[in-house]
Amino acid sequence: MPQKEDIAKFKQIIDKLPEKERKLLYKHLHDMPEAKREAFISDYIKKYYSEKKKPAPQKNVAQSILLGLFAALFIVGVFYFIYLLNKDRIDNRFNEMLGMPPAESIDTSSDPEGIMGPEPRKFPTDTPTPVPATPTPSPVPLADDHPDLSGLVIVIDPGHQQVPDTELEESIPGSTAEKEKASSGATGINSGAKEYEITLQYSLVLKEYLEGCGAEVILTRTENDVNISNIERAAIATESDADFFIRIHADSAPDSDIRGVKVYVPSTGKYSKSAGSDGEDLADIVAEAIGSDSLGSVQSNMYTGLNHADSIRSYQLVIGYLSNSEDDALINQEETAYKTAVAISEFLDSKN
């Protein structure tokens, strides 16, 4: 006979069972030989209590996956929020990795280019007709040994404009990369001078000097309050069948120690093989003329205006950095614009 203790436990167990299962269990015991009942009851009790001690089943797999996804989305959201709060600093670090002054990818540069934008892309439908520049306040004297540039067609692009145009345009031909059409550029750290004003002043002096050397010169803009995108500026150069396209800039960098003359050239196009060395020659000759340091040249696809004018010899000349006190003072000296014009004429003569 089963022990009294086992019978009590067994009774407690079967009392917890549903009525149907309880009846089946009683019938099974009734039909079982008496000699086997004690062993059955003992085994049944052991099995019942061993199953109760088993660890709880793991959480539903689908539930775990959903919780993981929510956690991942939360983390991504936190990082995106941090990025928005530190966008300029992060973008600058990224551009430093590309080997270019960080701030040249934001509004302190001519072409905030290289960002992928959504479809549909918007493109300019008309190319503005170049307007002859107004004369500079005082005549620009020619050096006695000035070069003869007769027969050359030169398009000069004074970088930036007074009011930015944040509408997007194609940055790299044939790609989905898009950037803002135009920005207003940098501001002098001490002088407060605006880059879009400086580049026009330099371009007017350069235009008069090169015309004195016999060249035909076209400006992409003659006023600050205009709205001409970088693609439209490049189109003026290509549709004019220009021999040279000179883009004038005075950039900014987050590191105020960065100073000097730098030239950007297209990384694609007909002249891509010689563009790097030609750009370095331009940086060297201008730096020497104005008493600055040469930072050489960089071949890049970051600039819309260069990318869309790579069928001609195109150069983006950075005269200096308005974020540096020395360059800010140098750029704003009247004689620096004249010295730059003379140096550019010598460069064009050497490449003609």
Give the chain's mean pLDDT. Answer: 84
Model pLDDT for residues 59-111, shown as the tens digit of each residue = 567 777 888 888 888 888 787 777 677 766 666 665 555 445 544 433 333 43
Between CA 122 and CA 111 the distance in angstroms is 16
pLDDT recorded at residue 111: 39
**Three-class secondary structure assignment of 240-280:** CCCCEEEEEEEECCCCCCCCCEEEEEECCCCCHHHHHHHHH
pLDDT recorded at residue 329: 98
Between CA 158 and CA 220 the distance in angstroms is 7
Q: Side chain identity at 312, as an amino acid letter?
A: I
76-85, 92-101, 128-137, 225-234 — which is least confidently predicted?
Answer: 128-137
Q: What is the pTM of this model?
A: 0.64
| For helices 87-97 and 61-85, angle between their N-to-C axes, nearest 10 degrees | 90
pLDDT recorded at residue 104: 41
Locate 180 and state its tokens: 């803002």
pLDDT recorded at residue 117: 37
- Please answer whether residues 320 and 291 qualify as being in contact, where contact means their C-beta atoms are separated by less than 8 angstroms: no
Helix (H, G, I), strand (E, B) or coil at 133: coil
Q: Which run of H or of E encompasses 318? A: strand 313-321
pLDDT recorded at residue 96: 56
Residue 271, pLDDT > 90, answer yes
Q: Is 268 exposed, middle or buried (0-12, 13-18, 19+ CB in 10 A)?
A: middle
- How far the first Cα of the chain sits from its last, in Å, is 119
pLDDT recorded at residue 13: 78
Residue 302, pLDDT > 70, answer yes
Task: Determine whether domain 117-351 maps to CATH 3.40.50.2300.
Answer: no
63-67, 189-193, 231-235 — which is least confidently predicted?
Answer: 63-67
**Structural domain boundaries in the chain:** 4-52, 117-351
